[in-house]
């Protein structure tokens, strides 16, 4: 039989689920665990301090309402935060309010090397090409991969916020290491570079280094051949902010993992910042030593999701602006609508379209975009979102999209809102509450009424039925 605190939290979640975006619910509410209920105080366990702060900043009103709904006006919420206990290797919880300072005195094992062996000038630099003079190592950061060029959306807000916090205070936040993971082409390398560039901006004296894991492995193999592994380790132990991309390539490389383990320990113990990217979350990484994986979990793991339609349009507009190119809005929307799973692929399609237009001296039109997309993307499954449905409906009636979210009772706007609700229920898996939230912050009963009204009009009004069929074709086009 369920304990009462679990029942209370389950009831809270059922309300929350209908009032937040599905991705936000997965990110911010699914990881929460109810701990106990005493004297009308519900204690919930959250994974990190950052998690707690995010909930307090963005969802406090919703949490208060749901808790008071379940427990009455005297109902209160307390947080219990998971922290890593390095000595015991097990998590423990602390209550809030408490000090934000982390204990930095936990013993971390480091490679037994003589750190007084020499100054940085004496230590071989693995980036130097044989035959050239020794030079100061470059950060290897790409200037265009800045925060200014990184378009924020629901899909990446957590990772971007954490990345920016790290850049403002490297090595001194709870996000050390910061592990960014996502599928191919969703922006993890861009975000890693953006953090490094911002650190260099804020702290010109800090040594920032971006390196791909395969390059790191190659350098280690070279150091082993030259019998100067200690020098290799020393070099990396002097980096202030180490950004290592695609850590999954360390899988099954036992000796390289061992060296990276000691480098990681030394940097972390000395409050140096580590930023790691991966194509999978730590729990799914295969072929990596458990002691390394456990260290990846010390900080924050943040994923980048597939961007929604609105974010994809914003990404394309930003790229066009940076390149000084103008193309029709309908072409931008067509590209964003048809290429849904990979930002890099979408940008590639844009470049191809511009190139075709330039080489063949043709204007960039929706027809040219359609021809190119047919060759560029095969069997694309397209996303139909509530936002997209609203746009199609409003375009059909010549209304601005934002009108749907106003409280006006003008007949044409009410009808457009009802149609948007009807098609959202038909073409998406969103709950009635979620649809209402996106369509003027209405409740689920209003959405249900709208759907019934539209269904009745379809049966009794031939002209209205024609509108509905035409809009439906445009949505599915």
Lowest mean pLDDT among 80-94, 101-115, 422-436, 450-464: 101-115
pTM for this one?
0.54
Residue 101 predicted with pLDDT over 80: no
Q: Is residue 105 part of a domain?
A: no
Same domain, 185 and 290: yes
Q: Is residue 425 part of a domain?
A: yes
Question: Could you tell me the CATH number of the domain that includes residue 435?
Answer: 1.10.1750.10
Residues spanned by the domain of 20? 4-95
Same domain, 327 and 281: no
Same domain, 315 and 406: no
Same domain, 176 and 253: yes
Question: Could you tell me the CATH number of the domain that includes residue 72?
Answer: 3.30.300.180
Lowest mean pLDDT among 181-195, 245-259, 406-420: 406-420
More confident residue, 385 or 304: 304
Give pLDDT, residue 379.
Answer: 42
With contact defined as beta carbons under 8 Å apart, do 59 and 13 qualify?
no
Same domain, 50 and 69: yes
What is the rounded average pLDDT of the residues 437-442? Answer: 81
Beta-carbon count within 10 A of 438 CB: 22
Give pLDDT, residue 53.
Answer: 73
What is the rounded average pLDDT of the residues 29-53? Answer: 85
More confident residue, 1 or 213: 213
Same domain, 394 and 364: no
With contact defined as beta carbons under 8 Å apart, do 147 and 156 qualify?
no
Same domain, 190 and 162: yes
Same domain, 269 and 326: no
With contact defined as beta carbons under 8 Å apart, do 391 and 356 qualify?
no
Give pLDDT, residue 275.
Answer: 96
Q: Is residue 133 part of a domain?
A: no
| % of the chain exceeding 70 in pLDDT | 85
Residue 107 predicted with pLDDT over 60: no
Q: Is residue 123 part of a domain?
A: no
With contact defined as beta carbons under 8 Å apart, do 64 and 77 qualify?
yes
Same domain, 396 and 280: no
What is the rounded average pLDDT of the residues 354-383? Answer: 71
- Sheet containing strand 33-38, edge to edge, reads 33-38, 41-46, 76-85, 90-95
385-388: list long-range contacts, CB under 8 Å, 24+ apart. Answer: 385/308, 385/309, 385/428, 386/420, 386/424, 386/428, 386/430, 386/434, 386/435, 386/438, 386/439, 387/308, 387/309, 387/310, 387/438, 388/309, 388/337, 388/475
What is the rounded average pLDDT of the residues 204-220? Answer: 91
Same domain, 428 and 329: no
What is the rounded average pLDDT of the residues 427-438? Answer: 81
What is the rounded average pLDDT of the residues 230-258? Answer: 90
Domain count for the chain: 4
What is the rounded average pLDDT of the residues 401-427? Answer: 86
Question: Could you tell me the CATH number of the domain that includes residue 313?
Answer: 1.10.8.60
Same domain, 438 and 371: no
Q: Is residue 140 part of a domain?
A: no
């Amino acid at each position: 039989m369920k304990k009462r605190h679990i029942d209370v939290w389950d009831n809270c979640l059922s309300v929350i689920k209908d009032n937040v975006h599905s991705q936000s619910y997965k990110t911010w509410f699914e990881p929460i665990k109810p701990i106990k209920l005493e004297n009308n105080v519900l204690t919930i366990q959250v994974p990190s301090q950052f998690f707690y702060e995010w909930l307090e900043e963005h969802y406090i009103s919703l949490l208060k309402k749901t808790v008071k709904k379940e427990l009455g006006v005297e109902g209160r919420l307390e947080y219990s935060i998971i922290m890593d206990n390095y000595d015991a290797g097990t998590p423990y919880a602390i209550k809030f309010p408490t000090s934000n300072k982390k204990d930095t005195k936990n013993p971390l094992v480091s490679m037994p090397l003589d750190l007084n062996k020499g100054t940085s000038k004496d230590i071989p630099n693995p980036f130097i090409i044989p035959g050239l003079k020794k030079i100061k190592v470059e950060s290897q950061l790409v200037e265009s991969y800045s925060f200014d060029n990184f378009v924020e959306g629901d899909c990446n807000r957590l990772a971007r916020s954490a990345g920016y916090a790290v850049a403002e205070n490297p090595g001194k936040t709870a996000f050390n290491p910061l592990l960014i993971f996502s599928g191919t082409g969703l922006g993890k390398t861009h975000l890693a570079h953006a953090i490094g560039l911002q650190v260099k901006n804020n702290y010109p004296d800090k040594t920032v280094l971006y390196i791909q894991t395969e390059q790191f492995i190659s350098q280690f193999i070279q150091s082993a051949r030259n019998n100067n592994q200690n020098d290799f380790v020393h070099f990396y132990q002097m980096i202030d902010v180490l950004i290592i991309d695609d850590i999954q390539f360390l899988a099954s490389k036992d000796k390289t993992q061992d060296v990276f383990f000691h480098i990681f320990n030394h940097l972390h113990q000395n409050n140096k910042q580590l930023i790691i990217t991966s194509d999978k979350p730590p729990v799914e990484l295969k072929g990596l030593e458990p002691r390394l994986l456990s260290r990846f979990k010390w900080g924050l793991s943040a994923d980048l999701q597939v961007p929604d339609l609105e974010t994809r349009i914003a990404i394309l507009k930003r790229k066009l602006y940076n390149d000084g190119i103008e193309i029709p809005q309908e072409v931008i929307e067509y590209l964003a609508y048809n290429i849904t799973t990979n930002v890099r692929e979408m940008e590639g399609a844009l470049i191809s379209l511009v190139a075709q237009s330039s080489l063949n001296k043709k204007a960039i039109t929706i027809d040219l975009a359609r021809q190119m997309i047919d060759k560029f993307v095969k069997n694309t499954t397209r996303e139909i979102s509530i936002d997209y449905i609203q746009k199609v409906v409003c375009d059909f009636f010549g209304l601005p999209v934002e009108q749907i979210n106003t409280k006006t009772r003008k007949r044409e706007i009410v009808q457009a809102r009802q149609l948007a609700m009807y098609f959202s229920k038909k073409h998406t898996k969103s709950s009635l509450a979620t649809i209402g939230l996106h369509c003027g912050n209405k409740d689920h009963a209003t959405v249900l009424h709208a759907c019934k009204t539209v269904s009745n009009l379809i049966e009794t009004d031939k002209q209205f039925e024609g509108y509905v069929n035409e809009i439906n074709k445009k949505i599915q086009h």
